[in-house]
Amino acid sequence: MKTTYRDAARESLRAALAGDPRVIVMGEDIGRYGGTYAVTRGLLDEFGPERVRDTPLSESGFVGAGVGAAMNGLRPIVEIMTVNFSLLALDQLVNGAALMRHMSGGQLNVPLVVRMATGAGRQLAAQHSHSLEGWFAHVPGLRVIAPATIDDARWMLASALTLPDPVILFEHVGLYALEGELAEPGGPVDLARAAVRRAGRDVTLVTYGGSVPKALAAAGRLAERGVDAEVIDLRVLRPLDVATIVGSVTRTRRAVVIDEMWRTGSFAAEIAATITERAFYELDAPVARVCSAEVPIPYAKHLEDAALPSIDAIVAAAAAALEGGP
């Protein structure tokens, strides 16, 4: 079935609301307005204000309400309009939801899903263009997922709602208009496994979220040069599927990690360190990273594009890795 990433994400919410009376959706402008990115459009009319709740502009307040609702038997899906605004709810998520099972000795769980848009590329300027997925992946007690395909946008939420602990679900702003075929029938997604989106033998491109289409496009360009690139979509940042990454790099002997975070302290650094620790003697070239420029994301389109990982930069990094080996 032909659809978009946005519509697939909406259908995942609709199915969750229809299938479980404990599920509620809450967040800023998600009801009458239909969501900043139109993902929740129509759900208020279909399920009513008790199940689809507009909240005040207070991330700390409504995320805290979601944590409390989850602890008391509901299955809340809380939308934070953009990852930038999640900074206002860090105490609720990092100091509260993530630690509750540990702090209660296993007596309390927080079955909460927090959706948020992330990333740049839409000319939303510096305060609305962060990529902070690695911050959340740093925190024990949180599961962090990043659907990069239409199928994952449709089905990852259902799997997240079966878990007893909090899940942070990142949707890249550049993917909402992505069009493609939705596999029917779909089914549960393993929220502990990466996916090989393109098999290859010469170099491994490791990425997630909004950079997956760029990595696939780069692999296509490399193929024109006779280079067979493998593309790994991490899908889940915590827990990280180390076995799939190391297995690929062990075969290809070269790796390029693409990450829209800033290079210093990026999630790409964690992946590069993991590869070096687990597969150092299999490498024929140093692990390369392609990250965003270390500047506030510019508003001007040509400057924004220049600041972000590009297909050209991925191709160049892969070519350099190939030149660096035997």
Domain ranges of the chain: 2-181, 195-323
Give the residue numbers annotated as catalytic, written as ranges.
59, 128
Other residues' Cβ atoms within 10 Å of the Cβ of residue 322: 18
Residue 198, burial from CB neighbour count under 10 angstroms (0-12, 13-18, 19+): middle
Q: How far apart are CA 203 and CA 122, in angstroms?
A: 30
Superfamily of domain 2-181: Thiamin diphosphate (ThDP)-binding fold, Pyr/PP domains (3.40.50.970)
Count Cβ neighbours within 10 Å for each residue of 28-53 and write b for 16 or more, e otherwise.
bebbeebbbbebbbebbeebeeebbb
CB distance 148 to 215 below 8 Å: no
Distance CA 326, CA 318 (A): 14
pLDDT > 70: percent of the chain? 99
Whether the pLDDT of residue 150 is over 70: the answer is yes
For residue 278, name the pLDDT band (cuts at 50, 70, 90).
very high
Q: Is the pTM of this model over 0.75?
A: yes
Mean pLDDT for 22-37 is 96
CATH code given to domain 195-323: 3.40.50.920
Q: Name the average pLDDT for the chain.
A: 96
How does pLDDT run across 219-272, given as a tens digit for each residue? 999 999 999 999 999 999 999 999 999 999 999 999 999 999 999 999 999 999
With both helix axes pointing from N to C terminus, report the angle between 212-224 and 311-323 in degrees, rounded to the nearest 10.
50
Handedness of CA 248, 285, 209, 223 (dihedral sign): negative
Taking CA atoms, 243 is separated from 55, 240, 270, 275, 279, in Å, by: 41, 9, 14, 10, 11
The predicted model gives 24-50 an average pLDDT of 97
Q: Tell me what pLDDT residue 325 has.
A: 59
Residue 122 backbone phi and psi in degrees, to 5: -115, 15
- Over residues 108-134, the pLDDT tens digits come to 999 999 999 999 999 999 999 999 999
Total residue count of the chain as it appears in this document: 326
Q: Fold identical between 2-181 and 195-323?
A: yes
- Determine the pLDDT at residue 106: 94
